[in-house]
Amino acid sequence: MNIIMIGSGRLATQLALALKDAGHHLLQVCSPTAAHAEALATQVGAEAITTVEELRSDADVYILAVKDSILASLIPVVCKGREDALFVHTAGSMPKDLFKGYARHYGVFYPMQTFSKERRVDFQQIPIFLEADSETALQQIKTLASSISGSVYELSSDDRRYLHLAAVFACNFVNHCFALSADVLRKVHLPFSVMLPLIDETTRKVHELSPVDAQTGPAVREDHNVMQAQSRLLSDDPLMQKIYELMSESIMKSKKVKK
């Protein structure tokens, strides 16, 4: 397929590279930051542009991989004069009907993964969640998704909101816990690297056990003496102390629900 990528961030970069590797033709990369557009366009053999007014009108698919906050305002401009093409956005929390009234064929193409520009990912292992306004558009999006991933699912806008929320807990919040752990370690001049074997084993366990069954630590044992002592260690940081106490409370509640 002939594709135009609108966006040059982390997701856009990894998706464009995967599409190129799968044999698709990237015509243009559009980003308001010229250096970013040029960097990605060079990698995928596309033309770099900085405004949507420069978009070609002969692409099969227009992929909007941009911040949620600008998606609604960008769609009318991107679709105008190109209404017969296929348009998709990559946002986890935004509905497909943002395109309604502006395009005839549209949908959502949501790869659920954390991305960085520098670290290549294997898209074959990434689940991609799709939605479309019609069966025709859905089949086109499925063909595109299946060319880069072995895990393709249909999911409605309403259900995708919950998927995205679950991803925030499983990825974003967990990563923030890593940052909090690093803050604690700095108090005793230890590097975060000492946590990596523990993190790796914790992650491996949930490939075999449910998260509730894999849970360990003072909260699951209801060891209140340890929890109170650890909470006191955080008395200089009330917010972090509150996070510790709420997390411990949630773990104890999960244990009771399981019973």
Give pLDDT tens digits for 36-70: 999 999 999 999 999 999 999 999 999 999 999 99
Taking the model in full, what pTM does it have? Answer: 0.85
pLDDT of residue 8 exceeding 90, the answer is yes
pLDDT confidence bin for 120, thresholds 50/70/90 = confident
Question: Can you name the residues that pair with 109 across neighbouring β-strands?
Answer: 130
| pLDDT value of position 258 | 64
pLDDT of residue 255 exceeding 80, the answer is no
| Burial group, residue 19, by CB count within 10 angstroms (0-12, 13-18, 19+) | buried
Give pLDDT tens digits for 83-107: 899 999 999 889 999 999 999 999 9
Tokens of 115: 């991305």
- Residue pair 111/85 in contact by the 8 Å Cβ criterion: no
Give pLDDT tens digits for 126-182: 999 999 999 999 999 999 999 999 999 999 999 999 999 999 999 999 999 999 999
Rounded to whole angstroms, how far apart are CA atoms 74 and 95?
Answer: 15
- Residue pair 128/108 in contact by the 8 Å Cβ criterion: no
Average pLDDT, the chain: 94
Tokens of 18: 């995967």
- Give the neighbor-by-neighbor strand order of the sheet with 2-6: 47-49, 25-30, 2-6, 61-64, 86-89, 105-111, 127-132, 151-154
- Residue pair 76/94 in contact by the 8 Å Cβ criterion: no
- Residue pair 8/50 in contact by the 8 Å Cβ criterion: no
